[in-house]
């Protein structure tokens, strides 16, 4: 009888054994895949060469933004208008989920240059608003359409699920219009 034949001496049914064996194999396979992924993620020489990039901002007009790629991530660089700077500075810090002034998010004397990662702090989508004509959300900064996070003109989170402001990467001005990111 099939029911008797499929039960081993220890009472484990053959069918169960197949499931257990398959599960163990999958776990080993998963471990190997994870290892090789981690191994591939170790930086190679050409990746290290991109650890920092230089961007010439001379052609970025007031009110324009550009997207550049740095370490595989999008970076938004926006030349804020006086009205956008004023809107950011007029916002009471107490209204902010992640309280930071525009001054703290920009370099001294260069408050118009807003440099942030283009990576939503909720689950990592690329927000809209850097390209011409894209939706910029209720606070006229950036808008993440994945789950509706609205960032203001200083790229600070104002509405939606994202917990923190768009991250400001490490950067420095090498000259009036040349910025080094990283
Ligand atoms: S990833 Fe941006 S709102 Fe969820």
Mean predicted confidence (pLDDT) in 14-40: 43
Where would I find the H helices in the chain? 2-5, 14-41, 45-49, 82-90, 102-105
In three-state form (DSSP H/G/I as H, E/B as E, the rest C), the secondary structure along 91-115 is: CCHHHCCCCCCHHHHCECCECCEEE
**pLDDT higher than 50, residue 106:** yes
**Catalytic residue annotation:** 147
Write the residue with the smallest CA distance to atom 3 of ligand 1: 147
What's the pLDDT tens digit per position in 164-178? Answer: 999 999 999 999 999
95 CA from centroid of ligand 1 (Å): 20
For the chain, percent of residues with pLDDT exceeding 70: 73
The whole-number pLDDT of residue 134 equals 97
137 lines ligand 1 (CB under 6 A): no
Q: What is the pTM of this model?
A: 0.74
Mean predicted confidence (pLDDT) in 58-71: 96
2 CA from centroid of ligand 1 (Å): 53
For ligand 1, mutation pick of 73, 119, 125, 128 (most atoms within 8 Å of CB): 125
162 lines ligand 1 (CB under 6 A): yes
Between these two residues, 15 and 65, which has the higher pLDDT value? 65
For ligand 1, mutation pick of 142, 144, 157 (most atoms within 8 Å of CB): 144
Between these two residues, 88 and 35, which has the higher pLDDT value? 88
The whole-number pLDDT of residue 42 equals 58
**pLDDT higher than 90, residue 159:** yes
Q: What is the DSSP letter of 128?
A: B
């Amino acid at each position: 009888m099939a029911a008797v034949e499929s039960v081993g001496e220890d009472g484990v049914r053959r069918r169960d054994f197949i499931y257990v064996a398959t599960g163990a194999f999958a776990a080993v396979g998963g471990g190997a895949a994870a290892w090789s992924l981690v191994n591939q993620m170790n930086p190679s020489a050409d990746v290290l060469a991109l650890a920092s990039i230089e961007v010439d901002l001379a052609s970025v007009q007031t009110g324009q933004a550009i997207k550049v790629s740095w370490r595989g991530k999008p970076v938004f660089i926006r030349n804020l208008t006086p009205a956008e700077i004023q809107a950011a500075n007029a916002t009471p810090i107490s209204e902010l989920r992640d309280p930071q002034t525009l001054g703290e998010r920009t370099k001294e004397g260069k408050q118009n240059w807003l440099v942030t990662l283009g990576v939503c702090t909720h689950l990592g989508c690329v927000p809209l608003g850097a390209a011409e004509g894209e939706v910029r959300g209720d606070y006229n900064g950036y808008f993440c359409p994945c789950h509706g996070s609205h960032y203001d003109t200083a790229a600070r989170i104002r509405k939606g699920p994202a917990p923190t402001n768009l991250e400001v990467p490490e950067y420095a001005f090498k000259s009036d219009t040349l910025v080094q990111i990283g």
